[in-house]
Structure 1
Amino acid sequence: MNTSDANFKQNKYRPFILASVMLAMFVGAIEATIVSTAMPAIAADLGGFELYSWVFSSYLLMSTVTVLIYGKLSDLFGRKPVITFGMTLFLIGSILCGFAESMEWLIAFRFIQGIGAGAVLPIATTIVGDIYNKEERAKIQGYLSSVWGISAIMGPALGGLLVDTIGWQYVFWVNIPLGILSLIGLWIFLDEKIEKKKHHIDSKGAILLTASLTVLLYLLVEGGVTVGWTSLTAAGLLIAASVLFIQFIKHEMKTEEPMMPFSIWKNRSILIANIVSLAAGILIIGISSYLPAFVTGVMEQSARVAGFTLTAMSIGWPIAAVIAGKLLIRIGYYRTSLIGGCSLVVGAVLFVLMEPSYGPWWAAMSSFFVGVGMGLTTTSFIVTIQSAVSWNLRGAATAANIFMRNLGSTVGVALLGGILNASLLNSFRSSTNENVNELDVNAVNELLTKEGRSSLDGDILNALQQAMSTGLKSVYAIVLVIAVISLILILFLPKKDIPS
């Protein structure tokens, strides 16, 4: 496909296209935080608390496995029809979620939502790469990153307001008019000139990748819960996922118009950016998943204060992303990425050094540094990747980077959760208090509310808080290792800037 970038960049409607893209990204970004806030009310209404985590996992599973598929389809058939299909499916899933009458049905509808969501972020980001040149992308990608910060701040507040006033169903339905408006804007103002020719759709590759990742993510989500990590079932799932993925790689290496063009990974900038994005996904999920538990359970602060410590990261990320746009032009992507990597390490060090007596401001400061690091590196990577490939590979290349970050987050949940649980049990078993010896991991639930803490015996409370603090220090030690590895990898990026 020989579609000229110049035709896009001369489009006088670029501000309207950008507004439509940012609206589409907002719809996808706010989904995570707004649903998290509403989940206690949803579980109380629908029941099935044992399926609580699958409401999130089902969405994450499908949005992760479909990212690469949509990215390649957009290179073959254009951005507009693919993002339209994805957004439409996302909105249909949102409507159905609001009508769910049981947790099982909600999970099924979240699968549909996730399948659609996989198209929104990569295609929206790719459209920006199409209509702006390299210097402009650096600035505009900063604006796109700010969407995530705004959604992270608005999501919890809006979710709480909707639940308290008109019902949890509207947490899903609030997306519908916004999604429709973004599609209207794209169809009116985005004029794609796609060369009409017959394309080979890599359906076998899509099936192999989806099957491989579905098996792997199922193991990661259910491992240690319904599937023992040392069981034959876990071993069988791991072998099945490995065999399917190897078959996927073999198929992609020889097929025409592959869904994952491995040729782009030969570019050192893309290879390192994608590996660092995988590490960043682990890092970010390790902080966002467990920091509220530390602030609430160990520091004994309110849920609102715990939210504030994460909001600091959401503020640092978009601010740094906007600054990154200017730095990329002035000092280049290598130095900008390097500054971002250093900020990640600083934030991780602060988390490792954090003590309960330091208070929430220390936690917020640590989060802010991590947010700054993420804003600088993610913006640099997207601009670099989109500048290193042609139009007909840009969708797949952008999707690959987002896929790696999503995969890192999914793997990180299982990896760091296992480390935390093992540390908690070790603390309980090594205690000299017989009552503490009998505790299991679920005992820490009592730390997460003021009422729960007040109901505990003083010795038990101290033991639980000490175990939680020790366990989370182990988690943050892993986060620091990941941050250091990321910084080392960034040092191997080419120092010469990528031409636009």
Structure 2
Amino acid sequence: MTNRPLAPPYRGLTVGMVALVSLVAFEAVAVTTAMPTVARALHGLPLYALAFGGTLAAGVVAMVISGGWSDAKGPAAPMWTGVSTFCAGLLLAGSAPDMWLLVAGRATQGFGGGLITVALYVVVGRAYPSHLHPRVFSAFAGAWVVPSIAGPALAGLIVEQAGWRWVFLGMVLLTVPAALLVRSGLRRLPSPSATPRPGGARGQLARTGWALGAAASMCLLHVGGQQRGAAAPVLIAAALVGLVVFAPRLLPRGTFSARPGLPSVVLLRGLAGAAFIQADVFLPLLLSRERGFSPATAGLTLTISGVSWFLGSWYQGRWGQRLPPARRLRIGLCTIVLGVATAAACVAPEVPVGICVAGWTFAGFGMGLSYPTMSALTLQLSTPAEQGTNSSALQLADSLFSTTMLAVGGTLFAAWVTSSPTAAYLSGFTIAAALALLGVFVAVRPCRSRDLSRVVGISGAGSGSPA
């Protein structure tokens, strides 16, 4: 029994999947850097928020479709459709003559990326023995590090030297070879289980409809956040109502009551992701606006947390398996709480910035410890016929919670930043801390032995289970 994702039977598949994750990550980072230039060049500043919101919304719909499709037919078809759609979106955005077509291209990219990410989770579940799942997910986390560190500078160089269109067009030239590396591994996957999927085709159609409702609500959140005056709270409130109606239908029953097992894992993913991104957004702004740091220097906190995220992920893949999953999750969430607390402390001018940076390094390590553990648990708590649906629920929770909490935090920040900057920053950090603290209590529930004992027949399951 091999203990390495890069052992000969898995090498091409592992390298190809990590390359695809890196490219999707670089695209997200690079487009964020290039988009101000794009909006000016295409005279499309009013559509700036929609260029991001539309991508996220399309990804939500694609995740739901990819989950059911992967369960029914295997992950190969949604994978290749996702790669094709992702490349088509890149070509459309890179050649767009106006902002509306660029937004359409970005939405197409988001749809393709959503198909790919969920299909990759199912490939991990079916192609690798269970004791390798944490290490493969650690590699996925590492695939985000280099784009996070080098992406902004490289994207800026491409924009300056070759033009913003090559931020999109150049990605196509790299995506196709990465996808071809995955090809042979996909051919060796076992056939989909003959076990009927819960809900069947009718259930999948209903989930797609709910995903469309949630996606529309997410777009409305982004548009509302760009408005001024009375329109902003009305649009944001309508969007939040839509998310409250549609989002719970896309997640496992019992998610919001933290039912032990998979529902708690999904809830924890949403809480951890929303807590981290909430503080991660406000911290550079605090350092640059209130402490006088340059944007580049303030952004170093994000680079440092990205590196520590990778280190935490690498640690849990190598040695963290000696600890039970619940303990790894509790440690991870506690370090996120510590990081948020130190970030909030920097609101006081007398607190040294070094303390904040050190604390946020711990937060990144906690995310690296937690995320691969949650991904591996999701596969372990899923029957083969539900790996796609449950993997999509995990990623949907991350996206939906983060989007909603950022909208709430951004609204409070905008309301208070002029009259009381301290209260404005503390509102965002308080939301982040509350979410992380709630996660600490939820982290005791995902992996009770009786829940794991219900799961049988996972493809490639070995004696070295991550639990």
Task: Give the TM bin, normalised by the shorter chain.
Answer: 0.7 to 0.9
1:192 to 2:184 alignment: no
Q: Say which of 74, 89, 93 aligns to 1:78.
A: 74
User: What secondary structure does 2:201 align onto?
Assistant: coil
After superposition, the C-alpha distances for 1:186-241 in whole angstroms (9 at most, x for unaligned) are 2233223325989953453144223321332133223354473654x666666666
- The 5 A counterparts of 1:474-493 are 474-493=427-446
TM-score by length of 2: 0.86
Shift in alpha-carbon separation, 1:173–1:234, aligned structure 2, 3 A: closer
Shift in alpha-carbon separation, 1:496–1:142, aligned structure 2, 3 A: same
Partner of 2:100: 104
How far the C-alpha of 1:317 sits from its partner, in A, is 0.7
After superposition, the C-alpha distances for 1:322-376 in whole angstroms (9 at most, x for unaligned) are 1112344212211111111111111111112113454553342232111111111
More helix by share: 1
Q: Say which of 410, 416, 421 aligns to 2:403.
A: 410
After superposition, the C-alpha distances for 1:375-432 in whole angstroms (9 at most, x for unaligned) are 11111111111112222211211121111011112112211101111222443xxxxx
CA distance in 1, matches of 2:238, 2:41: 37
Q: Say which of 380, 383, 386 aligns to 2:376.
A: 383
Cα RMSD for the two superposed structures: 2.8
Partner of 1:221: 222
Partner of 2:114: 118
Shift in alpha-carbon separation, 1:134–1:264, aligned structure 2, 3 A: farther
Shift in alpha-carbon separation, 1:81–1:229, aligned structure 2, 3 A: same
What amino acid is the match of 1:201?
A: A
After superposition, the C-alpha distances for 1:459-486 in whole angstroms (9 at most, x for unaligned) are xxxxxxxx2x441122112211111111
Sequence identity percentage: 23
Higher alpha-carbon deviation: 325-334 or 34-43: 325-334
What amino acid is the match of 2:265?
A: A
Shift in alpha-carbon separation, 1:482–1:171, aligned structure 2, 3 A: same
Partner of 1:291: 283
User: What secondary structure does 1:167 align onto?
Assistant: coil
Higher alpha-carbon deviation: 65-74 or 261-270: 261-270
Which residues of structure 2 form unaligned runs of 5+? 454-464
User: What secondary structure does 2:144 align onto?
Assistant: helix
Partner of 1:173: 169
How far the C-alpha of 1:243 sits from its partner, in A, is 5.7
Partner of 2:459: none
CA distance in 2, matches of 1:210, 1:286: 23
User: What secondary structure does 1:223 align onto?
Assistant: helix
After superposition, the C-alpha distances for 1:20-59 in whole angstroms (9 at most, x for unaligned) are 1111111111122111111222122122222222211111
Shift in alpha-carbon separation, 1:350–1:212, aligned structure 2, 3 A: same
Partner of 1:201: 201
Q: Say which of 22, 29, 33 aligns to 1:33.
A: 29
CA distance in 2, matches of 1:267, 1:353: 34
What amino acid is the match of 2:358?
A: M
CA distance in 1, matches of 2:232, 2:47: 20
CA distance in 1, matches of 2:320, 2:64: 27
CA contact (8 A) 2:72 2:385 kept: yes
Shift in alpha-carbon separation, 1:299–1:395, aligned structure 2, 3 A: same
- The 5 A counterparts of 1:251-262 are 262=253
CA contact (8 A) 1:135 1:329 kept: no
Partner of 2:91: 95
User: What secondary structure does 2:231 align onto?
Assistant: coil
Higher alpha-carbon deviation: 77-86 or 324-333: 324-333
Higher alpha-carbon deviation: 403-412 or 196-205: 196-205
Partner of 2:458: none
How far the C-alpha of 1:94 sits from its partner, in A, is 0.5
Partner of 2:133: 137
How far the C-alpha of 1:309 sits from its partner, in A, is 0.9
Partner of 2:316: 324
User: What secondary structure does 2:292 align onto?
Assistant: coil
What amino acid is the match of 1:58?
A: G
1:313 to 2:266 alignment: no
CA distance in 2, matches of 1:297, 1:264: 38
Partner of 2:57: 61
CA contact (8 A) 2:305 2:363 kept: yes
Partner of 1:371: 364
Shift in alpha-carbon separation, 1:270–1:420, aligned structure 2, 3 A: same
- Which protein has the larger Cα radius of gyration, Structure 1 or Structure 2? 1
TM-score by length of 1: 0.81
After superposition, the C-alpha distances for 1:231-277 in whole angstroms (9 at most, x for unaligned) are 4x66666666666668xx4xxxxxxxxx8775999972211111111
CA distance in 2, matches of 1:75, 1:295: 46
CA distance in 1, matches of 2:176, 2:231: 44
User: What secondary structure does 1:201 align onto?
Assistant: helix
CA distance in 1, matches of 2:251, 2:445: 24
CA distance in 2, matches of 1:280, 1:195: 32
What amino acid is the match of 2:159?
A: V
Higher alpha-carbon deviation: 396-405 or 201-210: 201-210
User: What secondary structure does 1:268 align onto?
Assistant: coil
CA contact (8 A) 1:89 1:116 kept: yes
Which residues of structure 1 form unaligned runs of 5+? 1-5, 250-258, 428-466
How many residues were matched structurally? 440
CA distance in 2, matches of 1:79, 1:182: 16
CA distance in 1, matches of 2:179, 2:125: 18
How far the C-alpha of 1:76 sits from its partner, in A, is 0.9
Partner of 2:264: 272
